């Protein structure tokens, strides 16, 4: 493939429903520079190597001044960058402090203890399909795949239910700003994004203050109270971390659940296997993260020095696009990569990243998807797609169907 307009082809909406043939073409040249500047990396081992290389930075301030600007530029100047966009030692300090109220070793039970609450949310949402049985069907995104993780992340953090609606709006606006496809109209949307960020920050500041005064059993309260031997998040760090979790918890799991149901409905034999054996959900969700990863690529890395990889020297300060979804289909790593094999062995996919930035919310994301898919196939009688391929979201980075219209004969 020539490098001409490579980024354009990746972000081109025409390739959204099935980007995989394009990725197969890309992998013929593991590292290639696009005419717009960024180096696109598409093979498994090269991506993996770069994700573990300390000479690769996630901090946009290390981009050379003439490198094309990425979406990171649109962060709120009043808030410090989140740890997603920082390198060690700042990254490690902030991630460690954020992890204290979330996971082991300090809070090993947080996600586990949410299991029954997650189950109740799932059941409640599926019960809500009842009045649509046998009719025109439902849009699984609006009725289930979106509200489920949104409700969960709000509960986890401690956002009151009546405020959840505001979050949809803010999170949608901020997530759309991560989409490099709209680079041309970046200026136009910059103001809307800034407004959403600042509204969200203001709201979170108030809520954190409330939780400081009267703590509850949620992450915001724990963050606000947290004095530990390893220090404490400052007030602005708390706001920016909470905002990161909220956005990351909104815009990714929805696509994993939707891609999951789409894949199951396209593979009825697998759907039946899951219905007969709910334990299959664990490896099946891993295979989904490989086969249809909700985060298709990481467009935000840069080189701290010249780096030789895949026969190419990438100069210091260059912008990198790591195409995780392409690495996941690399035949050098995964036998028969275009087949969905629910119990695929040795499935070290890149769907949740790798290295120091690997997904912070992974245990929650996995559990949500496992519960959601198991319950959907158990309760929906004869579910079927009404539209294939479905209509996709514009976003090329956070890729997934905007709607998934399905019909079913009844509810169990
Ligand atoms: C299926 C759902 C999810 C997918 C596919 C996903 C994917 C990813 C990926 C690929 C990265 C690596 C980013 C990079 O290397 O630059 C990442 C990082 C991250 N994820 Fe997730 N994520 C999911 C759900 C969640 C949830 C539910 C949360 C919050 C509870 C979350 C919080 C984060 C955070 C905070 C980071 C930054 C970690 C760091 O920089 O150290 N994610 N995620």
The CATH number linked to 340 is 1.10.630.10
**Range with lowest mean pLDDT among 45-59, 237-251, 398-412:** 237-251
For residue 157, report the distance from its CA to the centre of ligand 1, in Å. 16
Q: Report the pLDDT value the prediction gives residue 318, as an integer from 0 to 100.
A: 96
Please, is 219 exposed, middle or buried when counting C-beta atoms within 10 Å of its C-beta (0-12, 13-18, 19+)?
buried
Radius of gyration of the chain (CA): 21
Which amino acid residue places its CA nearest to atom 1 of ligand 1? 253
Q: What is the value of pTM for the model shown? A: 0.94
Separation of 86 CA from ligand 1 center, angstroms? 14
- Is residue 1 a part of any domain in this protein? no
Query: For atom 21 of ligand 1, which residue has the closest CA?
Result: 359
Collapsed DSSP state (helix, strand, coil) of residue 380: strand
Residue 369 domain boundaries: 6-411
Separation of CA 249 and ligand 1 centre (Å) = 8
CA dihedral (198, 200, 205, 209) in degrees, to 10, reads 160
Tokens for 346? 């040795």
Q: Rounding to the nearest 10 degrees, give the CA dihedral for residues 159, 229, 91, 250.
A: -20
Q: Is 148 in the pocket of ligand 1 (CB under 6 A)?
A: no
- Quick check: CB of 360 below 6 Å from ligand 1? yes
Please state, as a whole number, how many other Cβ atoms lie within 10 Å of the Cβ of residue 147.
18
* Tens-place pLDDT, residues 60-116: 999 998 776 554 444 566 678 899 999 999 999 999 999 998 988 888 899 999 999
Interval 350-389: pLDDT, tens:
999 999 999 999 999 999 999 999 999 999 999 999 999 9
| Domain-located, residue 305 | yes
In the predicted structure, residue 405 carries a pLDDT above the cut 70: yes
9 C-alpha to center of ligand 1: Å? 25
Residue 41's pLDDT band (cuts 50, 70, 90):
very high
Q: Helix, strand, or coil here: 351? A: strand
**In this structure, what token pair is assigned to residue 391?**
């209509």
Look up residue 166 and give its two tokens: 């505001």
Domain tally, the chain: 1
Per-residue confidence (pLDDT) for residue 332, from 0 to 100: 98
Whether residue 79 lies inside any domain: the answer is: yes
Angle between the N-to-C axes of helices 253-266 and 147-157, in degrees from 0 to 180, rounded to the nearest 10? 150
Which residues are CB-contacts of 344 (< 8 A; sequence separation ≥ 6)? 283, 286, 287, 290, 334
What backbone phi and psi angles, to 5 degrees, belong to 12? -60, 125
Rounded to the nearest angstrom, the distance between the alpha carbon of 248 and the centre of ligand 1 is: 6
Q: Given a cut of 50, is residue 222 above it in pLDDT?
A: yes
In whole numbers, what is the pLDDT of the chain averaged over residues? Answer: 91
d(CA 72, CA 332): 32
What residue owns the CA closest to ligand 1's atom 42? Answer: 361
């Amino acid at each position: 493939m020539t490098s001409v307009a490579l980024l354009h082809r990746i972000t081109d909406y025409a390739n959204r429903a099935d980007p995989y043939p394009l990725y197969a073409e890309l992998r013929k040249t593991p590292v290639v520079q696009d005419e717009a500047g960024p180096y696109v990396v598409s093979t498994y081992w090269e991506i993996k190597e770069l994700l573990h290389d300390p000479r690769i930075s996630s901090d946009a301030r290390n981009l050379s001044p003439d490198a094309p600007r990425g979406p990171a530029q649109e962060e709120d100047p009043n808030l410090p960058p989140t740890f997603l966009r920082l390198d060690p030692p700042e990254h490690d300090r902030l991630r460690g402090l954020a992890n204290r109220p979330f996971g082991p070793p300090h809070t090993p039970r947080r996600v586990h203890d949410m299991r029954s609450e997650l189950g109740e949310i799932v059941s409640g949402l599926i019960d809500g399909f009842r009045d649509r049985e046998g009719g025109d069907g439902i849009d699984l995104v609006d009725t289930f795949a979106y509200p489920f993780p949104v409700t969960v992340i709000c509960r986890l953090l401690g956002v009151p239910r009546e405020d959840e609606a505001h979050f949809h709006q803010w999170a949608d606006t901020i997530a759309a700003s991560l989409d490099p496809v709209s680079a041309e109209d970046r200026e136009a949307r910059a103001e809307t994004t800034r407004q959403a960020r600042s509204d969200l920050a203001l709201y979170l500041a108030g809520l954190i203050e409330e939780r400081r005064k009267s703590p509850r059993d949620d992450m915001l309260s724990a963050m606000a109270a947290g004095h530990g031997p390893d220090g404490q998040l400052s007030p602005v760090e708390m706001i920016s971390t909470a905002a990161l979790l909220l956005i990351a918890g909104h815009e990714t799991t929805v696509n994993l659940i939707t891609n999951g149901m789409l894949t199951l409905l396209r593979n009825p034999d697998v759907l039946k296997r899951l219905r007969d054996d709910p334990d299959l959900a664990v490896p099946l969700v891993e295979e989904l993260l490989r086969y249809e990863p909700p985060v298709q690529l990481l467009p935000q890395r840069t080189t701290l020095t010249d780096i030789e990889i895949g026969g190419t020297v990438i100069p210091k300060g260059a912008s990198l696009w790591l195409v995780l979804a392409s690495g996941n289909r690399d035949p050098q790593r995964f036998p028969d990569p275009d087949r969905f094999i629910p119990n695929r062995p040795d499935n070290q996919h890149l769907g949740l990243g790798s290295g120091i930035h690997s997904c912070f919310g992974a245990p929650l994301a996995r559990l949500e998807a496992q519960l959601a898919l198991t319950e959907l196939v158990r309760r929906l009688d004869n579910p079927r797609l009404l539209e294939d391929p479905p209509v996709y979201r514009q976003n090329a980075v956070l890729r997934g169907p905007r709607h998934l219209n399905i019909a079913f004969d009844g509810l169990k």
